[in-house]
Structure 1
Amino acid sequence: MVWFKAGPLFEGSEKLTAVYTEKLVSAAEAVRVISSGDNIVVPPGAAEPEVLMEALFERRAELKDVRVHQMLPLREATYLKAGMERHFRHVSWLTSSIVKRGVKEGRAGVMPGYLYEYPQFIRDLDVDVFMGTVSPMDEHGYFSFGVSVDYTIAAAGCAKKVILVVNPNMPRTMGYSVIHISQADMIVEDYTPLLELPKPTIGSIDQSIGDYVCQLIDDGSTIQLGLGSTANAAAQCLKEKKGLGIHTHFVTDTLVDLVECGAVTNRRKNVHPGKIICSSAVGTRRLYQFMNNNPMFEMHAVSYTNDPLIIARNDNMVAINSVDEIDLLGQCASEPIGPKLYSGTGEQVDFARGAMRATGGKSIVVLHSTHKGRSKIVPMLESGSVVSLSKNDVDYVVTEFGIAKLKGKTFRQRAEALIGIAHPDHRDGLSEAAKKSGLTR
């Protein structure tokens, strides 16, 4: 099945055709270059080379201690299953729900760090093999990494062996997203549809939060949106805005809605006007088709998109990110709650700091007030919790009960503002806890 109208998986001069054919091998042949103890890097999300990962699994009896480095896997590959840890070990650079169980059980590890640092981490790693999915080759011999640039350019540039899976379902994206056939050691062809992540279901609480977020965003702002239902609800509420721009890490199907309704034009951006600046796409076929050969999109590595100094160059930059829990000082936990390490920080610190340094910038943290009856605004974070956003990195906090402005406020004022947007059933308990700790009187 092929999503895009396409000719052959390569087109160009007779010389390029010959080079392509010479490097073309089966998936089983390609993974023969992998040895025990190797470091393998694969792209995140929909760019994961499924056909190679399954071929690698078939060699499990011959291999041990192979480390697979990846961010945000969208499927539970066979090598991730329990019992495979002697052969393969997953190193998560940003953990998805699929890998959390493996991390908790000690079968996978987590690489901490700010996302904009990841390409340099990759360069410092002794990468034996890079394996990634690309679009068909153009007449100049270039493939596009499509929906995932992130750290892929860095990995392909420093790996001892580069294996490319050419898939006509991978969109050709613009920007710094290409690799030349001369950089590939082997080529494998595959026609499997890309993995898809449907739009999250938006509930009434998400909708209320989105309505409040919309109040904080002016026409002409440049937006970053994190993943998840709450951030997507905020985006849905932006359809009435005008002249918005996008500078973000992830793009999702929601962005297509904002472009098609005219809310996102990118024309008022003072940095990269007219362009959506992003690094990765996580969504459905609709998004992937929208990005294909679309000059509105300009893909960059996370070392650019997520660099706080680059983000800060965008006037009226607004970062919108979900957190799991916040205490009365404004410290946010988005990784484990308590001593259960299973995830990395993600992009929220990069964008919070960048947005708050921008002229007219705002950083917005969103969360439901409760989860299963438990308040997500707490007197203090549970012992062992990792602070993802420090109290100094938090500007606005939004729940379904309103907006709390924390930047420029004292500890007492912060506590009072956060109690004011907590669920009414928990406000008295939070107020009492604040008094006992000396935050309020």
Structure 2
Amino acid sequence: MAATPWVLLDALAEHALQHSNIELYQLHLEHAEGLAKAVDGGHLAPKAYFASEYNRQLIQAGKADYIPISLSDIPRLFRKGEQRIDVALIQVAPPDRHGICSLGISVEATRAACEVADIVIAHINPQMPRTHGDAFIHLNQIDIAYEQDLPLPEHSPSVLNQINRRIGEQIATLIDDGDCLQMGIGDIPDATLACLGQHQHLGIHTEMFSDGVIELCERGVIDNSRKRKHAGKLVTGFVLGSKKLYDFVDDNSAVVFLDIEYINSIETICRNPNMVSINSALQVDLSGQICADSLGTHIYSGVGGQLDFVMGANLSDHGRSILAFPSTAGGGQYSRIVPVLALGSGVVTPRGSVHYVVTEYGTANLRGKSLRERSRALINIAHPDFRETLEKQAYEYWHVRG
């Protein structure tokens, strides 16, 4: 993520030209374009738990591979020895007077990789924020260190359009005072947070967050006071956003970065009452199946923590899970609500676990609903241009009338 050790990756790409088939396991990478030459030559063999801009085409071309797995399972994969890690490449904040560095803005599965790796190589970056929680790593756990002062990758806050604002407004009606929220990065989370200014005592337990949270924390809307797990603390695994966000988490003891195996554990998530998960989708079919990692067989992102939080929110006292997305894609050419998922699509969240589905046209509550009831509810929140066709397809595929 934003803590991608791209300086080390650039060096790896250069030195890999002397070797072949070096397996590179990775989550989402920033500034990883320098790997392309080594990948093309067969020197590096990337295996992605999460695809990003640099490797989507490589995966599609068969030059890189994709591992579909829930984010919470990756640390277990390392710790159980199911995936051997010879070398961990990381980026850290400089050591304090006790020799303790910080993993900074991205703890997620990095901590687990460091625990099991034979060799840990670290880029020590003075611009990396020093964060609390499970982020600490002592210098004696680092075998090789390279220090260079470099800016971190930034993602600017979303510029919200009318569609995303309407989706945010719809989601906000499902959120009550005192709820504990999980949400990610992007237009819909930002639009939702922008609509929560009148709420009180909200909490955050999430795998990641971005800039939209800052203002609500500063205004006291998010105070984490009603949480049962880590009361008073904002819990996350990583952050990605602007420098303002990185300054916000720097040495902020109210924000704790924890191991993603723990954060995304269904058992941990459901311990907070009124847990609300907010995630997105690329497609949903009329039975409620959610595709979130691919466009047919074209891998777009990853499984991530969506199902972990959907299940955890569903098991939480008065919890709710929300899947939200614009009704169309491709500039309005395609409906995201479809009769059946595109061939090869990955079902990230099965239909039996889906609760609320939200578009700019409304909210469909699928919990406890039959296939026919689901079809009708989803067609009602599809873009009007596609509803007539969807009604015909609902009868053809699901025997649903009207």
Quote the residue 1:49 is aligned against: 5
Aligned pair 1:95/2:51, yes or no? yes
Name the CA distance, whole Å, in 1 between partners of 2:227 and 2:295. Answer: 37
Which residue of the other structure, out of 95, 114, 136, is the alignment partner of 1:137? Answer: 95
SS at match of 2:42: coil
- How is 1:376-395 mapped onto 2 (pairs within 5 angstroms)? 376-395=336-355
Deviates more, 1:282-291 or 1:339-348: 339-348
Query: With structure 1 as the length reference, what TM-score do the two structures score?
Result: 0.87
**Which residue pairs with 2:104 in the alignment?**
146
Structure 1 stretch 84-93 or stretch 282-291: which is displaced more?
A: 84-93
What pairs up with 1:25-424 in 2 under 5 angstroms?
45-81=1-37, 84-123=40-79, 124=81, 125-372=83-330, 373-424=333-384
Alignment partners' CA distance in 1, 2:241 and 2:280: 18
The structural deviation recorded for 1:377 is 0.7
After superposition, the CA RMSD in angstroms is 1.4
User: Any conservation in 2 of the 1:82–1:107 contact (CA below 8 Å)?
Assistant: no
Listed one character per residue, the Cα deviations across residues 81-113 of structure 1 (whole Å, up to 9, x for unaligned) are 476341112211111233211111112111111
Cα distance in 2 between the residues matched to 1:342 and 1:212: 26
State the 1:344 CA deviation. Answer: 2.2
Where 2:295 maps in the other structure, the secondary structure is coil
Structure 2 residue corresponding to 1:437, chosen from 370, 384, 397 = 397
Alpha-carbon offset, residue 351 of structure 1: 0.5
- 1:60 CA drift (Å): 3.3
Larger radius of gyration: 1
- Partner SS, residue 195 of structure 2: helix
* Distance change (3 Å), C-alpha of 1:191 and 1:348: same
Do the aligned partners of residues 276 and 110 (structure 1) sit closer, same or farther apart at CA in structure 2, a change above 3 Å counting?
same
Q: Which runs of 5+ in 2 are unaligned?
A: none
Q: How many Å separate the matches in 2 of 1:120 and 1:61?
A: 32
| Contact 1:375-1:422 at 8 Å conserved across structures | yes
Cα deviation code 1:274-316 (max 9, x no counterpart): 0011101111111111101101111111101111111011100
Separation in 1 of the partners of 2:22 and 2:238? Answer: 26
Runs of 4 or more, structure 1, over 3 Å off, are 81-85
Partners of 1:71 and 1:366 lie apart in 2 by 24
Q: Is this contact kept in 2: 1:82–1:102, CA < 8 A?
A: no
Q: 1:160 to 1:298 in 2, by over 3 A?
A: same
The TM-score, its normalising length taken from structure 2, stands at 0.96
Structure 1 gap segments, 5+ residues each: 1-44
**Distance (Å, rounded) in 2 between the aligned partners of 1:126 and 1:175:** 26
* 2: CA distance, partners of 1:145 / 1:82: 27
- Per-residue deviation, 1:342: 4.8
Q: Tell me, in whole angstroms, the C-alpha distance in 2 between the residues paired with 1:155 and 1:359.
A: 34
* Partner amino acid, structure 1, of 2:109: Y
> What is the aligned-residue identity percentage?
37
User: Match of 1:32?
Assistant: none
Aligned amino acid, residue 60 of structure 1: A
Say if 1:76 and 1:395 are closer, same or farther in 2 by CA, change over 3 A. Answer: same
In 1: Cα distance, 2:398 partner to 2:375 partner: 11
Q: Whole-Å Cα distance in 1 between the matches of residues 141 and 272 of structure 2?
A: 34
The alpha carbon displacement at 1:436 in A equals 2.4
Question: Conserved in 1, the CA contact under 8 Å of 2:339 and 2:394?
Answer: yes
Aligned residues: 397
Q: Do the aligned residues in 2 keep the contact of 1:53 with 1:77 (CA within 8 Å)?
A: no
1:359 & 1:119 partners in 2: Cα distance?
Answer: 27
1:57–1:290 Cα change, 3 Å = same
Cα-to-partner distance string for 1:135-162 (whole Å, 9 max, x where unaligned): 1111222111010111111111111111
Rounded to whole Å, the distance in 2 between the matches of 1:107 and 1:421 is: 39
